[in-house]
Amino acid sequence: MLRLNSADSGFDKAFRRLVADRRESDEDVARDVALILNDVKNRGDAALAELTQRFDGHALTTDDDWRIGPETCREAFDALLPDLRAALELAAQRIRIFHEAQLPADRDDTDAAGVRMGAKWRPVDAAGLYVPGGRAAYPSSLLMNAIPARVAGVERLVVVTPTPKGQINPLVLAAAHLAGVDEIWRVGGAQAVAALAYGTQRIRPVDVITGPGNAWVAEAKRQLFGVVGIDMVAGPSEILVIADGKNDPEWIAADLLSQAEHDPAAQSILITDDPLFADTVADRVGVELTMLPTARVASESWNTHGVIIEVPDIAEAAALANLLAAEHVEIATDDPEAIFRLIRHAGSVFLGRYTPEAVGDYVAGPNHVLPTGRRARFSSGLSVLDFMKRTSFIQLDAAALAQIGPAAIALADAEGLPAHARSIETRLGI
């Protein structure tokens, strides 16, 4: 775990290194993914079967080996314990309500020149949703991807998820039932992303692919952008906690580990203005790790990528946070709004001492699929808009064309495009 102090002479150099550390896939991953994508593109189901057997130990032989039907999902939902079913339903309800408020409005206006113009929003026809199934299975991710797509009006929702040794978490199936998923295919990794993008003999292609995954999944989405739309290229999870010394160190230590347990490459950062609090949190992290079933992964993440930064004034944290542009930012101070007003780059912000990031992963409502690797500088979390596209339209009558057409002719001539000019001139009788 790295300790930094903004008052030290070498802080700027050390902090720049921290900001530049992407913790993402290397050239070997990119090369391997390119080979997998090409194999699936050329051989379809045969390539999927070979790769699924190799990486997941699951044989794709019969229809049941390939696909999980809606009846199986319904049975998984019905078999849930009442408390767990209620929790899943609450999460789905809150996610749906939040995303329904994101639906954009169409525009249709006529200006003073008599030109009618506007835009219509329409959903994509089909969306592919990647649901991890390796290190952990995430029904919450399925809800976070499927529900915005349904709210957007997408007609066909296709889930791909790896099933190592043929096993799948029944809670994922229950979430699929609750969200109204149409298809679930038992394939994962870069090969599953390729199948969604190109299509195979069994799996029809989709228009947009969303959802988190490992380095191979992220790289596959990056390479296939343009063949299909994607939500983002996601890297390892990250959390930045801005906390003063009035917090309970046990709470903050647990918050830091909530992301560290995701992945050995995940990163947890604490910024505080209290050196004693920093020491206490560091000690408490060690205590928490002795009690975590996920301690092996969380320890590697914390020991390799964990950071504690001391600042003389907690107000300085906002400037550092903007440079880090972290996926998750917690602000646990007396006046979190004062710092929040200065935060320009973050995937999602959690305000106050009673708002742990983990509540946002499940039941708060906003999406937990968020930009990582400093991409919050230019991108946002998953939303209804990722499953929609906007089509603009224009309508002129003769009077409107007479009013603005001559300017278009002048510009077309200036650009050396006489056919453009001619298409307007013929209508104006010039």
| Dihedral sign of CA atoms 134, 138, 142, 145 in order | negative
* Residue of 163, 111, 171 lying closest to 140 (CA atoms): 171
Cβ atoms of 142 and 179 closer than 8 Å: yes
Active-site residue, from 327, 330, 357, 368:
327
Q: Is 99 considered catalytic here?
A: no
Active-site residue, from 58, 177, 328, 368:
328
Q: Is 262 considered catalytic here?
A: no
79 phi, psi to nearest 5 deg: -85, -5
From residue 244, alpha-carbon distances to 252, 304, 314, 315, 347 in Å are: 10, 24, 7, 10, 22
Q: Amino acid identity of 157?
A: L
| Dihedral sign of CA atoms 242, 246, 251, 252 in order | positive
Cβ atoms of 326 and 239 closer than 8 Å: yes
- Residues with Cβ < 8 Å from 50, sequence gap 6 or more? none
d(CA 69, CA 169): 15
User: How many helices (H) and strands (E) are present in the chain, helices listed first?
Assistant: 18, 15
The catalytic residue positions are 327-328
